[in-house]
Structure 1
Amino acid sequence: MKKLLLLSVVFIASVVCAQTKDQVTIIGYYAGDAKRIDDYDVTKLTHIIYSFCHLKGNKLNVDNKGDSQTIQHLVALKKKKPGLKVILSLGGWSGCEPCSQVFSTAAGRNEFARSVKHLNEYFKTDGIDLDWEYPAIEGYPGHRFVPEDKHNFTLLLQELRQVLGDQYEVSFAAGGFTKFLQQSIEWDKIVPYVDKVNLMTYDLVHGYSKVTGHHTPLYSTPEQTESTDNAIRYLDSIGFPKNKLVIGAAFYARIFDADVDASNGLYQPGKFDRGFSWNQFDMEALKKEGYVYYWDDVAKAPYMYNAAKKKIITFDNEQSIALKTKYAIDKKLNGIMFWQLADDKPTGGLLDVMYKAAHE
């Protein structure tokens, strides 16, 4: 009898463990076409967020026939991965120019919410992800932002939940930096309306930065406060549910020119040069160019520096991705997401590392 009871306990524990692992959200934003997605193993994802739809008037709009075909193909992938969620995304860095104005009125919010429901019903997709960069603070140059955006964003989420009900997911891409966290969102008021907050804990050093640093570090350093952990600690401190938080990883690198040859290029005056995808990342070729690989054990972030050229490359790699994934599990977050799938290597890429770390 005792042996039977012990076996039952072991079985239940193993089921609970398996369920916990299965519940680790792995979200991939996707900005490719209908064909390229087939290069990747979508069974390792729980969600694909199609990027991007835009506003046409007050309505969510799929821009052209090619976009429609891509969405339809993404939905068809559910046959490969039962339970896969395909989410429509609004906006992007430069794609939300009219958002502040449209979402400033009840009529605009309602028409938008109804259009979201219509498109989800039409495509058989599973929800909406709002990528408005940013409510109430400056984002893309020239885009309107006003203090009222902060409360209007709450009203927008409320309207979406009311129109969509519980059948569809509602999420948004949130800036992972302090100013956004403190000024853009009414965190205490949005809790009932959102399923997930996708924290863009990348581009923390970005195209407009005047000092170099890690663009997607896990932890803060004495020289750089902005980090994944900094964002999570802030939101936890104000009581936002951790089980609705998704941290972000970058499947691309950023190169900066450092004005001063010091500290291996980190935390120096400088400017952004260019970015490139992980699928173009060739460590050996970079070493031949004069780049040296470094691992920052405080930030838990890799970087490379070329002293002759005074150029620094900041990125996520296999080691940092595995640590971020484990962090999401250990902190009991909703999961981890990344920008974006078409930047990955089709085989042996960062998604493979993320999936393995989530299921070990």
Structure 2
Amino acid sequence: MSPDSLAVMGYYTGDGRGLERYDFNKLTHLIYSFVYLDGNKVGFRDEAAIEDYRRLLALKTRYPHLKIMLALGGWGGCEPCSDVFSSAENRQTFARSVKTVLNEVGGDGLDLDWEYPAIEGHPGHPYKPEDRENFTALVRALRNTLGQDYLITVAAGGFDEFLEKSLDWKAIAPLINSVNLMSYDLVNGFSTVTGHHTPLYSTAEQKQSTDNAVRFLLDAGFPANKIVIGAAFYSRVWEEVEKTGNGRFQTGKHVPGLRYSQLATEYRPENGYQLLWDQKAAAAYAYNAEKQRYATFDTPRSVTLKTRYVKELGLGGIMFWELPGDSDDGAMVNAIYTEKMAR
């Protein structure tokens, strides 16, 4: 597989200003996050959001290779999805509205980020078992309406319950360009026990991992070259964590984390942190014994290994949440790109 064929997909929630800090030669896709359901049609948050998106589209003048996509939903952004997409008429109207936006405003396709079909996602959001088949019908309506010229990708939970219950993998595989595995937040804000939130490999203490999700899909017959794994440009943090195991797999209280760009300043010995590496999980973490704070995150080392894993297994590429989290010198994207291009 040629290095050039590997996708490097960055999600983006900014306003489209300050884009000169990024080297888009090192990305293949930029995914504007998010658009939402307006009734049974796709809609932007407001007029300002349309202008934000247009700033991304303008990048194509300088970077004609770059695919610019819209992402629907996100965490907390798909409350009406279960109800709206239950209807064939609504699915068709939605698909036509996506085509209209892509034709009239611009863009290369849609990323479906419904969190989650058929299982509990954001607290209070409706879900039902029928979401699984309705999701397949939605993807089919989109492909039939958009044709083959537009991209359709699916942001998928990287944990067992989603993988087993949310989507009909065999049915959607021929219809989509890639599944973007959210192989992060595998321990998340609802977790009362620490762990690695974006590990490459499973361990005896933690089954959920990137490799666990990839193996599930491969075993289900999903095409390897349509699997895009995830990296996290942010940390998950817990406090009130005992020092046993340097804080790993201990009870704690989740608190807000940091962007990758802030990690080097905070997680250092001068601030009382030990910077640690789990060899089996291929995952970085940090622990502050005095403050009893534990942090889990990706680093250039871990994303290099993830990119190497993509190449070794013949996967489609790597994506990350999110581009503005990178350091000013682009350390995370550079690490991915350097490994991508390595022979």
Query: Which amino acid in 2 is paired with 1:26?
Result: V
Q: Which amino acid aligns with 1:115?
A: S
Counterpart contact for 2:268–2:275, Cα < 8 Å: no
1:219 matched to 2:201? The reply is yes
Letter in 2 for 1:70: D
Task: Determine the C-alpha separation between the residues in 1 that align with 2:231 and 2:95.
Answer: 29
Which residue of the partner structure matches residue 279 of structure 2? 297
Correspondences of 1:257-272 after superposition (within 5 Å): 257-272=239-254
Specify the alignment match of 1:10 in structure 2: none
Contiguous gaps of at least 5 residues in structure 2? none
**Which AA in structure 2 matches 1:106?**
A
Gaps of 5+ in 1: 1-16
Identify if the C-alpha distance between structure 1 residues 212 and 284 changes in structure 2 by more than 3 Å, giving closer, same or farther: closer
Instruction: Tell me the residue number matched to 1:38.
Output: 20
Distance in 1 (alpha carbons) for counterparts of 2:140 and 2:253: 40
Query: Which residue of the partner structure matches residue 52 of structure 1?
Result: 34
How many angstroms does 1:346 deviate by?
A: 2.8
> Matches of 1:308 and 1:28 in 2, distance apart?
36
CA distance in 2, matches of 1:50, 1:172: 14
For the pair 1:90 / 2:58, whether they are aligned, the reply is: no
Q: Which runs of structure 1 show a deviation greater than 4 angstroms over 4 or more consecutive aligned residues?
A: none
Which residue of the other structure, out of 311, 314, 321, is the alignment partner of 2:293?
A: 311
Report the alpha carbon displacement of residue 81 of structure 1 after superposing the two structures with TM.
1.6
Q: CA deviation at 1:236?
A: 0.7
User: Offset at 1:285?
Assistant: 5.9
- Asked if 1:81 is matched to 2:38, the reply is no
Give 1:112 deviation, angstroms: 0.5
Residue 205 of structure 2 corresponds to residue 209 of structure 1: no
Q: Deviations over 1:117-174 (max 9, x none)?
A: 0010112200000100000000000000100101100000000000000010001100
The whole-number CA distance in structure 2 between the counterparts of 1:303 and 1:184 is 30
User: For the aligned residues, what is the CA RMSD?
Assistant: 1.2
- Count matched residues: 342
Query: Which of 159, 178, 182 pairs up with 2:160?
Result: 178
Q: Which moved more, 1:280-289 or 1:181-190?
A: 280-289
Bigger radius of gyration = 1
Residues 1:288 and 2:267 aligned together: no
Counterpart CA distance in 2 for 1:152 and 1:55 is: 16
The CA distance in 1 between the partners of 2:130 and 2:267, in whole Å, is: 50
Q: Distance in 2 between matches of 1:177 and 1:111?
A: 31
Q: 1: distance between equivalents of 2:56 and 2:277?
A: 37
Q: What's the CA shift for 1:281?
A: 1.6
Distance in 2 (CA, whole Å) between partners of 1:185 and 1:203 is: 19
SS in 1 for 2:302: helix
The residue that corresponds to 1:193 in the other structure is 175
Partners of 2:321 and 2:17 lie apart in 1 by 18
TM-score after normalising by structure 1 = 0.93
1:19-52, Cα deviation, whole Å (9 max, x unpaired): x111110000000112132221111110000000
Alignment of 1:1-360 (within 5 A): 20-283=2-265, 286-360=268-342
Distance 1:329 1:125 in 2: 28
TM-score where L is the length of structure 2: 0.97
Deviation string 1:267-296 (CA, Å, 9 cap, x unpaired) is 011221111111112257632121101110
